[in-house]
Copies of this chain bind each other. A is one copy, B any other.
Amino acid sequence: MNKVAIVGASGYSGEELVRLLLNHPHAELVAVTSRQYAGQTLAQIFPRFANHPKAKALRFTEPNAELLAKQAEIVFLALPHGVAAEYAVPLLKAGCTVIDLSADFRLKSAEVYKEFYAHDHPAPELLAKSVYGLPEIHREQIKKAALIASPGCYPTSILLPVIPLVKAKLINPQSIIADSHSGVSGAGRKAELDYLFVECNESVRPYGVPKHRHLSEIEEQLSLAAGTKVIIQFTPHLAPVNRGILTTLYLAPTEHFTDEAGAQALGKKITACYARAYANEPFVRLLEGKALPDTKNVVGTNVCEIAWRLDPRTGRLIVMSAEDNLVKGASGQAVQSMNLRCGFPETAGLV
């Protein structure tokens, strides 16, 4: 059993990490920190876990990197951006593996970070060492990483369906339009008017148009896959569900087609491309037949559903994905990375 800790365990991602780690066959949750809840037990703060034997014993503590480094081998950081470095630096020095769920170590460039996050990067020297924790793309690097930057929720829902197509040069990487709808937990557990029940229920709305922060990591990863700088269009929306992201992608295939026959020919290549990429992936589900992604089919799981359609009327490829923003889009994926890093079965604790 590996000893693990969570710093910042009181938000929605932190809570989901608690859920996954309490039931993980190879990990022992030894510490959870929260300034706000220090002194209280997991059972008090998260009643849904209260029947777990450990929930009454484990108490939130004030975050203390030195102490955490003594208690745990793996430390998950579920903190706002800009704050994670404060813990990452000493924990790495002390030899811990750090899996950060914030945006702080996802980019290679401190300049791009500043452009999108509007403050200087707190530990630019770590950017070169961190690994982007998208296991389907960077599995081998994750296995050896000391600092894993777990991807954002929107980026995961976009990168998983797009990267194989970009790598196979089946689409023009500069053509990408991503239209995403996220559940409200994506906004975090923050006491703000905009996220009150009455403000979100019976509401569908865009936000962060046209330059959402997640563009930075999406474009960096796509540029890496394409071998050239990629700029994309991305529009996030808020939908009245607790969890789930549905992304619809509009892509320009490199091969032109104008009829059903052309669509079928290209379709075979796309089918083969996705099969090569994901047929053996435990957490990507390639839909078949008439099935289309639906957030309700992935909520609570670490799975990303993908389906696609070619439109001979427009010559475009439409790809759709669905994931749980808190699982494959955050905490589940972080645990998947931990499994890889620690040599556990990749699906341990995730099915």
Number of chain copies forming the complex: 4
> Contact at B204–A244, with CB atoms within 8 Å?
yes
Q: Convert A91-131 into 0s and 1s, putting 1 for each residue whose CB lies closer than 8 angstroms to a CB of B.
A: 00000000000000000000000000000000000000000
> Contact at A23–B202, with CB atoms within 8 Å?
no
Chain B hits for A198, CB < 8 A: 12, 183-185, 189, 195, 242
Q: Contacts A184-B197, A235-B248, A313-B231; is A204 near B294 (CB within 8 Å)? A: yes
Q: Smallest CB-CB separation from A347: which chain B residue?
A: B51
Chain B hits for A285, CB < 8 A: 47, 50-51
Chain B hits for A195, CB < 8 A: 196-198
How many A residues have CB within 8 A of the partner chain?
A: 75
Chain B hits for A73, CB < 8 A: none
Bound-complex Cα distance A232 to B197 (A): 30
Bound-complex Cα distance A285 to B192 (A): 26
Bound-complex Cα distance A177 to B177 (A): 9
> Contact at B181–A305, with CB atoms within 8 Å?
no
The segment from A75-83, A141-149, A267-275, A296-304 that touches chain B is: A296-304
Q: Contacts A197-B200, A206-B292; is A240 near B240 (CB within 8 Å)? A: yes
> Contact at A241–B196, with CB atoms within 8 Å?
no
Chain B hits for A199, CB < 8 A: 197, 296
A283 within 8 A of B: yes
A250 within 8 A of B: yes
Bound-complex Cα distance A314 to B173 (A): 12
Bound-complex Cα distance A184 to B241 (A): 14
